[in-house]
Amino acid sequence: MRMSQLLLMFFEFFKVGLFAVGGGLATIPFLTELAERYHWFTIEMLSSMIAVSESTPGPIGVNMATYVGFHIGGIIGGITTTIGLVAPSVIVICIVAKILKKFKESEVIQSLFYGLRPAVAALIVTAASGIFISSLLHMDSDSQNPFAYINYIAVALFVLCYLINRKYKPHPIFIICLMAVVGIVLQL
């Protein structure tokens, strides 16, 4: 892997880490944009990345950055993207730690966060709707029949997970493991 490619990956994930305010799910719109701009991965692969990142220990944003980096450039790529993603947070935390008292009490900062919360929520909903569509619909269907676009098995699994979660409120690991087993069984 060339140094220029590693620097580009670092820079792009540094920007993601700098602007993905709100945590891991807020990285999804940025990753969608990276997929479209650089073709490092497909939108369908993004769904798999989210599934893997959600089912492995650690913050989802870091897991996704590592996954993308590893996919693009192996171990060095994974390390590069992960460092790029977390570097802004480390820098900001170091700065905030020095001025915590002023930062906490500043009306300007409180107002800034007041405005950022709805923006982050909109980014998360936008990303979630994209994942929702790519998970439950066959976007590559050429049929004139609109019902041909529906992935009925995926919709049934989604409804099943939703109902189980609403009624029993199981641990997320249970849902992830259950659907992983169901996916394996359905694909065999």
Of 40-54, 65-79, 97-111, 138-152, which gets the smallest average pLDDT? Answer: 97-111
How do the domains of the chain map onto residue ranges? 3-105
C-alpha to C-alpha distance for 99 and 128, rounded to whole angstroms = 35
Question: pLDDT class for 120, splitting at 50, 70, 90?
Answer: confident
The pLDDT of 156-164, averaged and rounded, is: 93
Q: What are phi and psi of 22, to 5 degrees?
A: 115, 0
Question: pLDDT at residue 41 above 90?
Answer: no
Q: Which of 78-82, 154-158, 175-179 has the lowest mean pLDDT?
A: 175-179
Q: How far apart are the first and last CA of the chain?
A: 36
Region of 141 on the Ramachandran plot (φ > 0 left; ψ -120 to 50 alpha; else beta): beta
Q: What percent of the chain has pLDDT over 90?
A: 30
Q: Is the pLDDT of residue 167 over 90?
A: yes
Q: How much is the pLDDT for 188?
A: 66
Q: pTM score, two decimals?
A: 0.62
Confidence (pLDDT) at 19: 85
- Which range among 20-29, 41-50, 99-108 shows the weakest confidence by mean pLDDT? 99-108
* List of residues 6+ apart from 175 with CB closer than 8 A: 161, 164, 165
Task: Give which of 22, 28, 33 is closest to 119, Cα–Cα.
Answer: 22
Q: Which two tokens stand for residue 87?
A: 């570097």
Residue 137's SS3 state is strand
Residue 14 has pLDDT above 90, yes or no: yes
Calculate mean pLDDT across residues 59-78.
89
160 pLDDT above the threshold of 90: yes
pLDDT the model gives residue 100: 63
Is residue 187 classed exposed, middle or buried when 0-12, 13-18 and 19+ CB atoms within 10 A define those classes?
A: exposed
Whole-number average pLDDT of the chain: 86
Give start and end residues of each alpha helix (H) in the chain.
Answer: 3-19, 28-38, 43-55, 60-98, 100-105, 107-136, 152-168, 172-187
